[in-house]
Amino acid sequence: MGDNLTDYVASKLSESAYNDGKKSFKIKDVDGEKIVWNTVEIIEDKKTGLYGYVLENPQTKEIVISFRGTEPPKTTTKEVELKGLDEPTKNAIMSEAGDRATLKGDTVIYESDKKVDYSGFLKDVYEDAFGVVGGNSNYAKKEYGTTAYVATPSQDAALQTGNAKLNDNGTITFTNKNQFTEAKAAVKKYVDKYGAENITFTGHSLGGGIGQYCAVVYDSNAVTFAAADAYGLLSEEEQNRVREGDYKDKIITYAYPSDAVAMFHEETIGSLYYMEDPAGKDGLGDQLADKLGSHGIKNYTDTNLYDENGYYKSNLLFDEKLRAAISTSPLFLKNSGVSDFPIVIQTELMKSYAAQVEASEDLIAKTKKEMMQFLDDYLSAMEYAKSKFKGQVGAGRYDKLNGSDVDDIYRDLTVSGPNGIPMLFEMDYFDEVIEFLKDAQSDTGEIAHNMNKMAKDFAHIDEMLAGWLRF
């Protein structure tokens, strides 16, 4: 087992956040090895219901911050032991109490007081409703909207409920206190201490949404499961960065396509991978029929889902964009030092499509649709890659380079595609594939050849660009 956080350990640490007051967690890995994670701090805010752990692996010094998701109601039962009863009395109690009484030897154990605590559950439901579903970027700010105080009923109500403060200059500032604002504040000292790049946020459901939010705010890493939508809580600048793909290498989310909570998102933060084939399982009817059965964290922790190294098994996961099975866990690729791994994954999918076309003419209609989707994703990826390279020059190791150098190397190594977007292969290859798909299903060999050529050119030139930046 390597030193990096694996899919399995991330899922177990997300599950562990549902436990209270633990000083450490001992996780038995898929290979039987016990891994200890010590609690550095428990993050708790009783008013909002926020709960999580700052954890450290004492051997690898990895730091993981795991947040709890929506908590079910807690049931507590007071038990009374009744001993020395004669047989008629014992039988009468057992008959009257029903399933509230059990017999252990000669002792009747009777549940006399059963209580259900909904407080934590209701706080999480409030967060889901007003933050995840109805919230905007103001919801995640501790303070917002300073205006003149004119004693309107709404202003006075906000002051009385603690949702606003009166300033010395006669203005009123509206305030927020929720799980997102408190999480952002609580983890800042650890970001300052360890560095954002050395922290991984994780969590399930609402906890996954909080983890994603913190990872974006602090430009950190996250591995989340069935994460609730946090996109609407981000600032306009952060939302733009999400749409431009800035977090695709940093934030990985796993979800079932039939999970209504995980699929309720305006925009994917980072990279999303389905835990099963989404075909016929991601419609509204499918999600209603699922009744959140696929949402629970235990759907992600079963050891049968993982290979011997603790990563999700080959062909278990499906790419969100191309909706096709992928051969390697994205977290494994990331831990192996593969940059832009979403592009690498989609390049490998192109190769697999070529093999499928060679094997069966029946797949050509489907392949045409996926080719058009590939082109859209490819153009977006190329725009993002050029922007990313331009952002790295002029400072640090590349302080002798500037944006014009990036333009020059792109002119040398790429061709101009639609709308002037640089391409790593000639569009003639793509057009040729589409024409073959339209006109003749018989010539599958030549179609596959061009698809393979595109994938190889893409991978080869991508390596050359990466090597040029390292030079």
Residues 6+ apart with CB under 8 A from 228: 69, 128, 132, 205, 206, 208, 209, 261, 262, 264
Q: Would you tell me how many other CB atoms lie within 10 Å of the CB of residue 133?
A: 12
pLDDT exceeds 80 at position 110: no
Q: What is the mean pLDDT of residues 302-330?
A: 90
Half-sphere exposure of 123 (CA within 13 A, CB side): 19
The rounded distance, in Å, linking the Cα atoms of 389 and 2 is 30
- CB-based contacts of 31: which residues, under 8 Å, 6+ apart? 1, 308, 309, 310
The packing angle between helices 403-413 and 364-392, to 10°, is 150
How would you classify the pairing of strands 171-175 and 199-204? unpaired
* Per-residue pLDDT reduced to its tens digit, 112-171: 555 544 445 444 444 444 445 445 666 777 776 778 887 887 778 778 777 778 888 888
What fold does the segment set 7-72+179-337 form as a domain? Rossmann fold (3.40.50)
Segment 250-291, tens digit of pLDDT: 999 999 999 888 888 778 999 999 999 998 877 777 777 777
Q: Which residue has the tokens 């929506």?
A: 70
What per-residue confidence (pLDDT) applies to 454? 62
Q: Is the pLDDT of residue 217 over 60?
A: yes
Q: What is the pLDDT of residue 311?
A: 96
Whole-number pLDDT of residue 338: 74
For residues 417-422, give the mean pLDDT: 79
3-state secondary structure of 199: strand
Q: What number of other Cβ atoms are within 10 A of residue 123's Cβ?
A: 21
H/E/C letters for each residue in 36-58? EEEEEEEEEECCCCEEEEEEECC
DSSP-assigned beta bridge partners for residue 143: 175
pLDDT band at 203 (very low <50, low <70, confident <90, very high): very high
Element (H, E) at 117: strand 107-117
Residues 6+ apart with CB under 8 A from 447: 354, 357, 364, 367, 433, 436, 437
Q: In this structure, are residues 357 and 345 in contact, taking their beta carbons and an 8 Å threshold?
A: no
The model's confidence at residue 457, banded by pLDDT at 50, 70 and 90, is low
Query: Bigger pLDDT: 318 or 130?
Result: 318
Residue 281 has a pLDDT of: 78
Distances (CA, A) of 457 to 230, 346, 348, 425, 451: 37, 13, 12, 6, 10
Average of per-residue pLDDT across 406-420: 81
Decide: residue 378, CB within 10 A, 0-12 exposed, 13-18 middle, 19+ buried.
buried
Cα separation of 318 and 298, whole Å? Answer: 19
Q: For the stretch 281-291, what's the b/e string if a residue is b when 16 or more beta carbons lie within 10 angstroms of its beta carbon? A: bbeeebbeebe
Mean pLDDT of the chain: 79
Q: Which of 185, 190, 193, 261 is nearest to 229 (CA)?
A: 261
**Residue 426's pLDDT band (cuts 50, 70, 90):** confident
Is 176:163 a contact under the CB 8 Å cutoff? Answer: yes
Q: For residues 142 and 188, what is the distance between their CA atoms, to the nearest angstrom?
A: 14
Q: Which of 338, 27, 246, 3 is nearest to 328 (CA)?
A: 338
Comparing 98-102, 169-173, 249-253, the range with the smallest average pLDDT is 98-102
- Does 66 have pLDDT greater than 90? yes
Please report which confidence band the pLDDT of residue 447 belongs to, taking 50, 70 and 90 as the band edges.
low
Per the model's pLDDT, the better-predicted residue between 178 and 51 turns out to be: 51
Question: Above pLDDT 90, what percent of the chain?
Answer: 32
Closest CA relative to residue 331, chosen from 273, 227, 274, 252: 252
C-alpha torsion sign, points 302, 307, 312, 313: negative
Better pLDDT: 26 or 368 = 26
Stronger pLDDT, 325 or 238, i.e. the higher one: 238
Per the model's pLDDT, the better-predicted residue between 450 and 334 turns out to be: 334
Give the per-residue pLDDT at 20: 93
pLDDT at position 376: 82
Closest C-alpha among 328, 325, 334 to residue 249: 334
Report pLDDT digits (tens) over 14-62. 999 999 999 999 998 888 889 999 999 999 998 888 999 999 999 999 9
Rounded to an integer, what distance in angstroms lies between the CA atom of residue 229 and that of residue 208?
A: 9
Per-residue pLDDT at 465 exceeds 90 = no
Nearest to 451 by CA among 385, 376, 364, 380: 364
CB-CB contact of 133 with 172 (8 Å): no
**What is the Cα–Cα distance from 401 to 408, expressed in whole angstroms?**
11
What's the whole-number mean pLDDT along residues 236-254? Answer: 92
**44, 115 contact by CB (below 8 A):** no
| 3-state SS assignment for residue 301 | helix
Q: Which two tokens stand for residue 449?
A: 């050849």
Tokens 């990279």, residue?
Answer: 271
Q: Say if residues 74 and 116 touch (Cβ distance below 8 Å).
A: yes
